[in-house]
């Protein structure tokens, strides 16, 4: 018997990465049913077939309330209940800062991460109240705690999810409903590759390649993997955490515990070695994105004090030189 025996779960962003690993684990741990929610239909349908009759896929854009309601209705129609909702769907959002952010990009990122989670709760709570039990889990991020871990809208949405769990804990605890957040650190998935325009397939490949240069970014010297988050979600969904609500579980390998000794040259070399394993067109796209970021940084230098500008210019030139060496070792 699994620890989720007889329970019904709905997982958003279920076709790949964290959602995929969690869906598989929940099935293995005895769920009566898992509703797989995503917009990647081919992957989602194939995955549901792999998992067997207890898994159902439904196309759902979590920024659309009607889509969310249909997914929840499907859980009730097919499995008669809904015990666990894991709001995991996400995108990296625009990398722009406050000054450059496009309003449309900001709104879309907030809609997927934050509004989607709120709407999943809105339409699930009546069912859970009738049952006298329920569990909400949100995928937050270390970016919700500290600047520099993600883009503006992404980071704000993750910080909001952390607080949403606290609000929900107080509002819903009396009905036997819990809410918690998981804050991953550096997890090797395809989400950020998709954010710069890579195809889903290439982004997943890039996520796997990132394991090498992500390994030394935190106290535990390996990259995080989707299964690390899936195991945390299993704990929060199970009766083992029945007295835990309103909390955020950091699953970051010690990333937020403090800075560690790190060789930036080695990190950059590992990055470009991984980059060279992509197809030429994907390499070109990645390099263009890096160059765009460098150009934006250069444009801001004119507003800085001369002594600060000089130090940054030297550092940026050194990075460019190392990049050229890594990409063109024979020249």
**Residue 88 falls inside a structural domain:** yes
> Do 268 and 247 reside in the same domain of the chain?
no
Whether the predicted pLDDT of 317 surpasses 70: no
DSSP letter for 111, please. I
Contact yes or no for 11/36 (Cβ under 8 A): yes
Please tell me whether residues 53 and 108 are part of one structural domain: yes
CATH, residue 250:
3.40.50.720
Give the side-chain half-sphere CA count within 13 A for 145: 17
Q: Domain of residue 98: give its range.
A: 8-257
Residues 300, 169, single domain; the answer is no
What pLDDT score was predicted for residue 329? 59
Choice between 84 and 313, residue whose per-residue pLDDT is larger: 84
Residues 284 and 151 in one domain: no
pTM assigned to the model: 0.85
Domain presence at residue 313: yes
Task: Give a yes or no: residue 205 inside a domain.
Answer: yes
Q: Where residue 56 falls among pLDDT bands split at 50, 70, 90?
A: very high
Task: Kindly calculate the radius of gyration of the chain based on its CA atoms and give it in whole angstroms.
Answer: 21
Could you tell me if residue 28 is inside a domain? yes
Give the N- to C-terminal CA distance of the chain in Å, as an integer. 61
Q: Do 230 and 303 belong to one domain?
A: no
Structure confidence by residue, pLDDT tens digits, 220-270: 988 899 999 999 999 999 999 999 999 999 999 999 998 777 666 666 777
Q: Best-predicted range by mean pLDDT among 68-72, 93-97, 194-198, 284-288?
A: 68-72
What is the spatial distance between Cα 180 and Cα 164, in angstroms, rounded to a whole number? 9
Beta bridge partners of 138: 87, 181
Tokens read off for 183: 């804050």
Asked, for residue 2, whether it belongs to a domain, the answer is: no
Beta partners for residue 86, in sequence order: 11, 137
The verdict on residue 29 lying in a domain is: yes
| pLDDT score for 100 | 87
Q: Which of 230, 257, 284 is the last residue of a domain?
A: 257
Number of structural domains (the chain) is 2
Residue 53 φ then ψ, to 5°: -65, -15
- Please tell me whether residues 202 and 114 are part of one structural domain: yes
Residues 6+ apart with CB under 8 A from 130: none
Q: Is residue 132 part of a domain?
A: yes
Residue 331 confidence (pLDDT): 54
Whether residues 288 and 163 fall in one domain? no
Q: Residue 229: its pLDDT value, please?
A: 98
The predicted-structure confidence for 97-137, as pLDDT tens digits, reads as follows 898 899 999 999 999 999 999 999 999 999 999 999 999 99
Residue-level pLDDT at 203: 65
Q: Is the pLDDT of residue 172 over 80?
A: yes
Strand order in the sheet with 134-139: 55-59, 33-38, 8-12, 84-87, 134-139, 177-184, 248-251
Contacts with 26 (C-beta within 8 Å, 6 or more apart), sequence order: 4, 9, 11, 34, 84, 233, 234, 237
Look up tokens 């009766």; give the residue: 239
| pLDDT tens digits along 38-50 | 999 999 999 999 9
Question: What residues are annotated to the active site?
Answer: 154
Residue at a domain's end among 242, 257, 272: 257
């Amino acid at each position: 018997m699994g620890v989720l025996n007889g329970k019904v779960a709905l997982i958003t962003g279920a076709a790949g990465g964290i959602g995929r690993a969690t869906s598989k684990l929940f099935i293995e741990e005895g769920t009566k049913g898992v509703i797989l929610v995503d917009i990647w239909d081919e992957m989602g349908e194939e995955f549901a077939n792999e998992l067997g009759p207890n898994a159902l896929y439904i196309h759902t854009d979590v920024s659309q309330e009607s889509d969310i309601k249909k997914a929840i209705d499907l859980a009730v129609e097919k499995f008669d209940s809904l015990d666990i909702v894991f709001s995991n769907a996400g995108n990296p959002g625009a990398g722009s800062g406050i000054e450059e952010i496009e309003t449309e990009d900001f709104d879309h990122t907030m809609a997927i991460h934050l509004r989607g989670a709120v709407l999943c709760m809105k339409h699930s709570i009546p069912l859970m109240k009738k049952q006298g039990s329920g569990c909400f889990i949100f995928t937050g991020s270390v970016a919700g705690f500290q600047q520099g871990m993600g883009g503006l809208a992404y980071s704000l949405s993750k910080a909001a999810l952390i607080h949403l769990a606290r609000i929900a804990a107080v509002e819903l605890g009396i009905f036997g409903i819990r809410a918690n957040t998981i804050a991953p650190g550096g997890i090797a998935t395809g989400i950020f590759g998709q954010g710069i325009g890579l195809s889903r397939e290439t982004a997943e490949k890039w996520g796997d390649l990132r394991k090498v240069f992500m390994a030394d970014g935190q106290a535990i010297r390996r990259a995080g993997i989707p299964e690390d988050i899936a195991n945390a979600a299993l704990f929060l969904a199970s009766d083992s955490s029945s007295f835990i609500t309103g909390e955020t579980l950091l699953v970051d390998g010690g990333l937020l515990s403090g800075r560690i000794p790190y060789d930036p040259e080695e990190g950059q070399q590992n990055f470009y070695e991984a980059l060279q394993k992509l197809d030429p067109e994907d390499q070109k796209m990645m390099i263009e994105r890096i160059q765009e970021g460098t150009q934006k940084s250069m444009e801001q230098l004119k507003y800085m004090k001369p002594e600060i500008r000089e130090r940054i210019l030297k550092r940026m030139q050194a990075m460019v030189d190392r990049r050229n060496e890594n990409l063109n070792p024979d020249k």
